[in-house]
Structure formats: structure tokens, C-alpha cells
Amino acid sequence: MSVGTDLLDLQELDLALARSRAELADMPEIKALARKRKAYLKLKDEALRLMGRRKDLQTELADLDQDERDCRQAVDDAQRGCVDPSDYDEVQRLELELSDLAKELDKIAFAREELTRRLAEATEQEAQAADYLERYERAIKSDAQAARDKASKLQQEIDDAERRRSALCARIPEDFLAEYERCLKSFNGLAVERLDGAVPSLCRMTLTESSLSDLSREEGITHCPYCHRMLILSEEA
């Protein structure tokens, strides 16, 4: 392998590395996951709210049961009391009391019907929300696993490329390597071009025969008289 070929390979490797690093740093899967986690927290809040509503309705029903027991006890108490049947006022007072209690029991029965209906509705909504939340959670976990797999594959590619880069750099003479690094910075990642016939591969400015023969060269490598990148004239060792 000539130094020129090694430099061109190094440039390919550096371009691939930059792409992999950018891809890893900017994975759309990570942003999508963050959005889904936010949505999941909202769903969780909603599920908690529905559970709270169902519990409130159960408490209301339990209170209603207590009211009914109190009411029936009051009816029993009223009926057990001794009333003198000849005392018109007392008989009328008892009838009135029993009639009020019967109305109260009607109200309780009506309220129970309404509450039972709302409780069934709330229980159904709570179950649906819990089911949706569970499925959403499973989807997030599987997305997270896929993102981790993709990231670790990218990291593996980066590690491999870095190892190949070290091996390549180890056999490129130091002064060429230093010049490559300098050009890499100056030319934003495209430091080296090769000569295709009389045309450099990056700037595409045709070299005249005299300008070609004027170029100083070492290991078949010079600088392009137009763009000043490293120019590989020959890749033969």
C-alpha cells in the first residue's frame, strides 16, 4: 500500500466515522421515545383520575347504604313506639313521620340507581384506561430496547472504525499524517483528493501539463495548486 492510498482510505474512514457519530448523537428514535414517555405520564395521570372517581362513587354508595339503614331503623322505631289510637294528634304525627321516611327511602332508591349506573360507567372507563396504559408501556419498552440495540450497533461500528483508524495511522509517516490533520481542519473533512487523468477529484480544476510537471512531489503526493488540498498523484507504492 502506498502512503497516498492510506491517506485516501483514512479520509473515507474519517467521513464514515463522522457520519456514524452524528447518527448516534441525533437518533430520531431517542426524541420519539422522549415524546412517548411524556404522553405516557399524561395517560397515567388520567388513569389515576379515573380510579379516584370510581373510588369516590363507591364511597357515595356506601354512604347511601348507611342512610338507608338509618332510615329503616327510624321506621322500625316509629312503628314500635306505643301510640294511643284514640289520640288523634299522636296518630296523625306518626302517620306524617312514616310518610316522610317513605319519601326519604324513595329518594335513596332513586339516588342508588343513578350512582350504580355512574359507577358501572366509571369502572368500565377505568379498566379501558388501565388496559391502554399497559399496552402503551409495553410499546415504549420495546421501542426503548430497539433504540438501545441500534445505538449499541452504531457504537460498535464506531469502535471498529476507530481501531482501523489507529492501525492505518500507525503506518502513515508522521509528517504526512500531520499535514492530513491540518488539511482536515482547513477543508472541513475533505483533506485529500486524487488525480483522475489531469483533474483533481474534489475541486475538478484541470491541471495543465506544465503545472503538473512544476509540482514537487514526495511519495507521489503534493498539494493541489488550485484548492491546496493534499493531492495524490500516484497510488502506486
Q: Which residues contribute to the site for Zn ion (CB under 5 A)?
A: 200, 203, 224, 226-227
Please list, in sequence order, all residues whose beta carbon lies within 8 angstroms of the beta carbon of residue 61, skipping any fewer than 6 positions away: 112, 115, 116, 119
**Strand ranges (E), the chain:** 192-196, 199-200, 221-223, 230-232
Q: How far is the CB of 44 from Zn ion (least distance, A)?
A: 59
Nearer of residues 130 and 199 to Zn ion, judged by Cβ: 199
Nearer of residues 125 and 222 to Zn ion, judged by Cβ: 222
How does 104-131 read in b/e, with b if 16+ C-beta sit within 10 Å? bbeebeebbeebeebbeebbebbeebee
Q: How far is the CB of 42 from Zn ion (least distance, A)?
A: 56
Nearer of residues 122 and 232 to Zn ion, judged by Cβ: 232
Q: How far is the CB of 193 from Zn ion (least distance, A)?
A: 5
Query: CB–CB of 47/122 below 8 Å?
Result: no
Nearer of residues 40 and 226 to Zn ion, judged by Cβ: 226
Query: CB–CB of 232/12 below 8 Å?
Result: no
CB hemisphere CA count around 132 (13 angstroms): 15
Nearer of residues 98 and 212 to Zn ion, judged by Cβ: 212
Q: How far is the CB of 207 from Zn ion (least distance, A)?
A: 9
Q: How far is the CB of 224 from Zn ion (least distance, A)?
A: 3
